[in-house]
Amino acid sequence: MNANIHLAVVEDNREFRRVLVNALNAHPGWRVAVECADALSALKEIPGARPDLVLLDLLLPGPSGADVIPQLKAKLPRVPIIVLTVVDSPDQIVRALEAGASGYVLKGGSTSDLLTSVEDALAGGAIMSPAVARRVVDWFQQRQSARKPVDLGLTEREWEVLRLAARGRQHGEISMALGIAVNTVKNHFRNIYEKLGVGSLTDALVKLNQGRGLLDGR
């Protein structure tokens, strides 16, 4: 099964690319079939070469490596992509994983660690070094805590009203559902808006989703 594994490498730094390619070629059964220095040529050359795995740097001249992940994945859905970069922000990591990366490895680790990672990825696993995993876990926890403390003094009733509104009910329907007058519903909204410092339902929902936008990611 080590027959002839073809690899693709996208990395703009010449020096580092040389080292990388040499290390990979030294591994029995592996061969670096494509080398690219930027995102555009990666998109041009990689799909045709049909490699078994892609090693991708994020910081590239021009379009970022993150941008090419979805497009590569679209053309080579079953080919694992490992991101290899110095960027260690949780957001970047999560974005890469969402885009379809199978692994995320920080530059600076040992070469043998990297080779192991590639092996794991070829075997169908996903790769996260403890440092990267730490970031992902941080992201999860911040995501969680970013949701709860949304506690800007809204009363129970106000939450009820807001939740119904967030499901698309309008004032009249809410008043029916809660068995109160429309004017009362309006009053609740009035108070909600004041507490949140906004001026419309959409604003309120945006605020509660903390600026994340209600439909980022299309």
Window 131-160: residues binding DNA (CB under 7 A): 153, 155-158
CA distance 128 to 137: 11
3-class secondary-structure state, position 70: helix
Q: Burial level of 145, CB count in 10 A (0-12/13-18/19+)?
A: exposed
190 is an interface residue for DNA by CB under 7 A: yes
Residue 52 contacts residue 6 (beta carbons within 8 Å): yes
CB of 48 to DNA, least distance (A): 24
Half-sphere exposure of 217 (CA within 13 A, CB side): 6
166 is an interface residue for a copy of itself by CB under 8 A: yes
CB of 123 to a copy of itself, least distance (A): 8
Q: Strand pairing of 103-106 and 5-10?
A: unpaired
Q: Which residue, 34 or 83, is less far from a copy of itself as judged by CB?
A: 83
CB of 104 to a copy of itself, least distance (A): 9
- Which amino acid is located at 173 in the chain? E
CB of 191 to DNA, least distance (A): 7
Residue 2's CB: how many other CB atoms inside 10 A?
A: 10
Contact region with DNA (CB under 7 A), list: 1-9, 106-114, 140-148, 183-191? 183-191
Contact region with a copy of itself (CB under 8 A), list: 8-16, 33-41, 50-58, 121-129? 121-129
Q: Which residue, 135 or 171, is less far from DNA as judged by CB?
A: 171
- Which amino acid is located at 171 in the chain? H
Give all strands (DSSP E) within 37-151, no chain letters: 53-56, 81-85, 103-106, 127-128
Q: Tokens 């690319």 appear where?
A: 17
Among 59, 115, 201, 206, the residue binding DNA under the rule CB under 7 A is: 201
214 is an interface residue for a copy of itself by CB under 8 A: yes
91 binds, among a copy of itself, DNA, none (CB under 5 to 8 A by kind): none
209 is an interface residue for DNA by CB under 7 A: no
Give all strands (DSSP E) within 81-212, no chain letters: 81-85, 103-106, 127-128
Q: Which residue, 22 or 142, is less far from a copy of itself as judged by CB?
A: 142
Residue 191 makes CB contacts below 8 A (sequence gap 6+) with 158
List of residues contacting a copy of itself (CB under 8 A) = 94, 97-103, 120, 123-128, 130-131, 133-134, 136-137, 140-141, 143-144, 147-148, 150, 159, 162-163, 165-168, 170, 198, 200-203, 205-206, 208-209, 211, 213-218
